Structure 1
Amino acid sequence: MLKDVFIGLSQNQFLTAAAKKYGLKLGAQTVVAGTNIEETIASIRELNAQGISCTVDNLGEFVFEKEEALKAKNSILEVIESIHANGVDAHISLKPTQIGLDIDYDFCYENLKEIVDAASKYDMHINIDMEDYGHVQPSYDLIDELLKEYDNVGTVIQSYFYRAEDDIKERKDLRLRIVKGAYKEPAEYAYQTREEIDANFIALIEYHLLHGKFTSIATHDHHIINHVIQFVEENEIPLEKFEFQMLYGFRKDMQLDLANKGYNFCTYVPFGDDWYGYFMRRLAERPQNLNLVAKQVFNKRTNTAIGLVAGAFLLGRLTSKKKK
């Protein structure tokens, strides 16, 4: 039930627009690394100084206008140049719908190719994020085309999909981020219970650790992290074959602890003002994430906790007051 609520909120255009306007009041800075490139580079430097690498997401998705898609593409190109110019340890994550997949396939491919080509000149990795089920196969088609010319491309396997086992075997030679999945998908395509998803998540991780190129294990679940640590020790898997990933602003102490213990660690660093849908899906994916962030915000003794604990409701209040 709670997952459905957060998914619904993530797709609410009215609340998304309001979140852009009231982002700072709602504590957006606790879940995004900055609203511009300069702020984001500063956040990346702080993480790098702690032994943590970053993957940078210029927030935005489900774009239906070419002008907006081109703006997103150019922004990503600016981030690539800024990462290189500043010498920080970071690469790019992006969503195909942000750069035109819902507008025209060929238009999206040309935008994506320009991004991958620019990154390849700096030996920079581009991770192509997966979205809802209807966009999965077109996204894989884009990747297959890119792989004919480039080798700096990776993608995501979402463990709640039935097709995930076949997908990971087919793409085992790619650098893969393995996640549980954060969209609301019907039983026709996806597992519905936490137990089924977790079991498949672990199975996919173990398969790729044993047979794949490089595995990014994206989870905040310490039970799964502990399981992975035991698995890699028992199977003598080299540390350079995998990394743990968590979201910016979540479980900071555990992020630092894993990095200090010598594990490769990468923080998913979103930036920009289009943060609301992203954050709501993180809560839908694992409602406990709300507690993780709220505790950290409370520890800072700031009023932003109000926004994180009840962001959707506060947005409604702010916007309704504005109308009066």
Structure 2
Amino acid sequence: MEAITRDFFLFLSKNHLLNNIAKKRGGSFAAGKIIGGTDFKSSIKFIRQLNDSGLSVTVDHLGEFVDSEAVTRERTAECIETIEMISREKLDSQVSLKMTSLGLDIDRKLVIENMTKILDTAERHGVMVTIDMEDEVRCQATLDIFKEFKAKYSCISTVLQAYLYRTERDLSDLADYQPFLRLVKGAYKESPEVAFPEKKDVDENYKKLIEQSLLNGNYTAIASHDDQIIEYTKMLAKKHHIPNSQFEFQMLYGMRSKTQLDLVKQGYKMRVYVPYGLDWYGYFMRRLAERPSNIAFAFKGMVKS
């Protein structure tokens, strides 16, 4: 049943008609509930509310698989402006972005040029930029770009996905870079040839990766709504005397808000992933596909006042 639910929401995420309807009519409905707003400026008030509650933030301008060089430059300029506004407004926020939004599918030189401009700005303002991981086909290219920039910049991190067989090897390969890593289960539909098809195997691999990353001394973000994963991380930290300053929990905006605040009260760093932009529909459907219980969390978020 879980596989059917996952496939259903992944199918909906690719429906162009529904996506266009959501762009035209749904932005104001989703703003302040599952996205910050239709642009970064309109998201600031929601970020401030989170910061005032003790929650850190990472923001993401929704949209990927860009096939126009002009659009990649627009995305680059927008990201630079966002970083400057984060600094100017003194927000406790980082930035997340996807390489395909900067031209990964067009030209590698274009990505490097765009990312260099962004990281130059990020270093100047001390704002961390996380390279989000996309599907398996783009995984190696993304990691190669991360390594290239990590050798030059400090304000850069990336993401590893527990459902891929390769990830344990990737984590070991990154050890010398002393990376800031976000660990996730993974949200794309992948072949059993490259990814664990069963949830229980993904969960076990996720736990293994969390332990490996923390014991390597990496600053690690555990991005999960799963209580078992959260409790496992707490247990692991206690067992190995890992300080709370070496890791953080991350969750999606509008989902499990009480749990987020509870973690802050318990002394853990909690970062909320706040997407913004018109392309929110596909993002939302993939989040529902990740885990059936997200459907209930999302419904509560969408109907809140």
Asked if the contact 2:33/2:304 (under 8 Å) is kept, the reply is no
Q: Provide runs of 4+ in structure 1 moved above 3 Å.
A: 24-29, 296-300
Q: Is the 8 A contact 2:28 2:38 kept in 1?
A: no
Cα separation, 1, equivalents of 2:100 and 2:41: 25
Kept in 2: contact 1:96–1:129 (CA 8 A): yes
The alpha-carbon deviation at position 70 of structure 1 amounts to 1.3
Three-state SS of the structure 1 residue aligned to 2:125 is coil
> How many positions carry a matched residue from both structures?
300
- What amino acid does structure 2 have at the position aligned with 1:201? Y
Counterpart pick for 2:99 among 91, 96, 99: 96
C-alpha distance in 2, partners of 1:202/1:216?
Answer: 13
Aligned to 1:124: 127
> What does residue 254 of structure 1 align with?
259
Partners of 2:238 and 2:71 in 1: CA distance: 47
Instruction: Give the AA of the match of 1:87.
Output: K
2:172 to 169, 173, 177: 169
Task: Give the Cα separation in 1 of the matches to 2:147 and 2:15.
Answer: 33
Gap regions ≥5 residues in structure 2: none
SS at match of 1:268: strand
Q: Does 1:281 align with 2:249?
A: no
Q: Give SS of 2:157's match.
A: strand
- Check 1:192–1:69 CA distance in 2 against 1; reply closer, same or farther (3 A cut): same
> What are the ranges of 5 or more consecutive residues in structure 1 without an aligned counterpart?
301-324
Secondary structure (helix, strand or coil) at the match of 2:183 reads strand
Q: Tell me the equivalent position of 1:216.
A: 221
What letter corresponds to residue 279 of structure 1 in structure 2?
F
Partner of 1:80: 83
- Match status 1:150 vs 2:170: no
Q: Could you tell me which residue of structure 1 aligns to residue 59 of structure 2?
A: 56
CA distance in 2, matches of 1:169, 1:260: 33
Give the Cα separation in 2 of the matches to 1:132 and 1:222: 26
Give the corresponding residue for 2:272: 267
The CA distance in 1 between the partners of 2:138 and 2:230, in whole Å, is 29
TM-score normalised over the length of structure 2: 0.95
Q: 1: distance between equivalents of 2:266 and 2:107?
A: 46
Give the superposition deviation at 1:29.
4.0
Inter-partner Cα distance in structure 2 for 1:282 and 1:180? 11
* Offset of residue 11 of structure 1: 1.9
Instruction: Give the secondary-structure state (helix, strand or coil) at the position aligned to 1:161.
Output: coil
In the alignment, what sits opposite 1:187? 192
1:23 counterpart SS class: helix
2:113 maps to amino acid: E
Q: Within 1, Cα distance between the matches of 2:84 and 2:304? A: 36
Deviation at 1:42, TM superposition (A): 1.2
Cα pair 2:97 2:132 within 8 Å, conserved: yes
1:154 counterpart SS class: strand
The residue type paired with residue 217 of structure 1 is: I
Aligned identity (percent) is 42
Indicate the RMSD between aligned Cα atoms, in angstroms.
1.3
Question: Residue 139 of structure 1: CA displacement?
Answer: 0.7
Q: 2:10 aligns with which of 7, 10, 26?
A: 7
Residue in 1 that maps onto 2:117: 114
1:174–1:212: 8 Å Cα contact kept in structure 2? Answer: no
